[in-house]
Amino acid sequence: MTISINLKRIIDDSYPIHIGSLPEINFEGKVAVLTNPKVAGLHLQTLLSTLKAKEVYVITIPDGEQYKTLDTIESILDRMFDHRLNRKSLLIAFGGGVIGDMGGFAASLYNRGIDFIQIPTTLLSQVDASVGGKTGVNNRFGKNLIGAFHQPRAVYIDPSFLSTLAPREFGAGVAEIVKMAVTFNLSFFEWLENNDLREGDNLQHAIKMAVETKARVVEADEKEQGLRAALNYGHTFGHVIENETHYETYLHGESVAIGMVMANDLACEMGLMSFEEAMRIKTLLGRYDLPLTYPIHDVEKFYQTFFLDKKSADSTITFILPRGIGGVEITDAIDAVAVKKTLSKFQGINA
Ligand SMILES: NC(=O)c1ccc[n+]([C@@H]2O[C@H](COP(=O)([O-])OP(=O)(O)OC[C@H]3O[C@@H](n4cnc5c(N)ncnc54)[C@H](O)[C@@H]3O)[C@@H](O)[C@H]2O)c1
């Protein structure tokens, strides 16, 4: 005997992404703000002065990628229970991508899922991590391997929070902006070549363009069945670099920048990109003091580490290769010889 359970449904998970000064946020129920001591010290008063709710609790967790773990999630949930949050409560993730990913994940778990809002405070999280509903934590097998798709109810991007950001963190965010332009938008790339993001209103325009690009990609492929994987351009190589350097030498965006340079080399080898196009991308990244090379000590070991990445389905490696500037190819049909040829060009090169 078979009993069917029909759960076909239409879910509307649409949400607004505001770019500009943080508006007043009004909420009738209880609100938990998740943040870390650094962001709280710099900007919590600004948030609290715009937040009107029945009760507001601030949950602070230690700063750093090494705390993006299930243990920290458990401690966040404990605090939410201490404050007797209920199904109608709201969580606000207030910080960089680490806070955003963990806040979203805790919200997806608490009482089987409550609403949350993203208020990203790093450039990387404003242009990338806060949009699209990927939430989660790392474990000893790798990065972001545990998590859920849980879309925020709204995202508030206030570029004024970035005034306190360290220069390297700024560069790491620029790498993700360049990633969006190279894969999806030639005219945005050309605009980036002609405008310095440290001047005038240029940054706000670039944030808007990057978020617009990400929003359209997420709409087309929320659960990363295809197109959304293009946003991993630079990440296949970058993850190996992060792994080899134990996440200590480079910020995530910095390893993505090197990864893009490597992916471009492979794209040139495959006839997808010209050497001149690869140079234009390298020049743009270099303007923001991003690292552009990495000394590979052992090509074979580097190559084998690709297979630890969860985006590599079993025995194949998925490469995201730009097709010129403004186009992208997602492929698992690149043969090992070509990949190792690219890797060997970085062998022993000092960064
Ligand atoms: N969910 C997604 O789609 C997605 C996409 C990209 C990256 N991510 C994740 O995002 C994380 C990286 O995010 P990140 O680069 O924002 O790192 P992060 O959250 O660690 O922030 C970087 C540093 O900047 C500090 N900081 C935050 N706001 C600040 C401000 N306004 N002024 C001064 N300092 C500030 C933080 O306390 C931290 O020390 C990674 O865990 C990555 O996996 C997620």
Instruction: Tell me, yes or no, if 144 is annotated catalytic.
Output: no
pLDDT value of position 194: 98
Whether 96 lines ligand 1, by a CB cut-off of 6 Å, is yes
The number of the ligand 1 atom at minimal distance from the alpha carbon of 36 is: 37
Whether 252 lines ligand 1, by a CB cut-off of 6 Å, is yes
- pLDDT tens digit at each of 351 positions of the chain: 899 999 998 889 999 999 999 999 999 999 999 999 999 999 999 999 999 999 999 999 999 999 999 999 999 999 999 999 999 999 999 999 999 999 999 999 999 999 999 999 999 999 999 999 999 999 988 889 999 999 999 999 999 999 999 999 999 999 999 999 999 999 999 999 999 999 999 999 999 999 999 999 999 999 999 999 999 999 999 999 998 998 899 999 999 999 999 999 999 999 999 999 999 999 999 999 999 999 999 999 999 998 876 555 567 899 999 999 999 999 999 999 999 999 999 997 655
The number of the ligand 1 atom at minimal distance from the alpha carbon of 162 is: 31
The token pair that represents 155 in the structure block: 């995202």
User: How far is residue 240's CA from residue 307's CA, in Å, rounded to a whole number?
Assistant: 9
Going by alpha carbons, the residue nearest to atom 21 of ligand 1 is 96
For residue 137, report the distance from its CA to the centre of ligand 1, in Å: 13
Catalytic residue among 214, 254, 264, 282: 214
Whether 222 lines ligand 1, by a CB cut-off of 6 Å, is no
Instruction: Tell me, yes or no, if 224 is annotated catalytic.
Output: yes
Place of tokens 């806060």: 130
Instruction: Tell me, yes or no, if 134 is annotated catalytic.
Output: yes
Going by alpha carbons, the residue nearest to atom 33 of ligand 1 is 165
Q: Are 65 and 98 in contact (CB under 8 A)?
A: yes
Whether 282 lines ligand 1, by a CB cut-off of 6 Å, is no
Instruction: Tell me, yes or no, if 239 is annotated catalytic.
Output: yes
The number of the ligand 1 atom at minimal distance from the alpha carbon of 104 is: 1
Instruction: Tell me, yes or no, if 24 is annotated catalytic.
Output: no
The number of the ligand 1 atom at minimal distance from the alpha carbon of 132 is: 3
Whether 125 lines ligand 1, by a CB cut-off of 6 Å, is yes
pLDDT value of position 141: 82
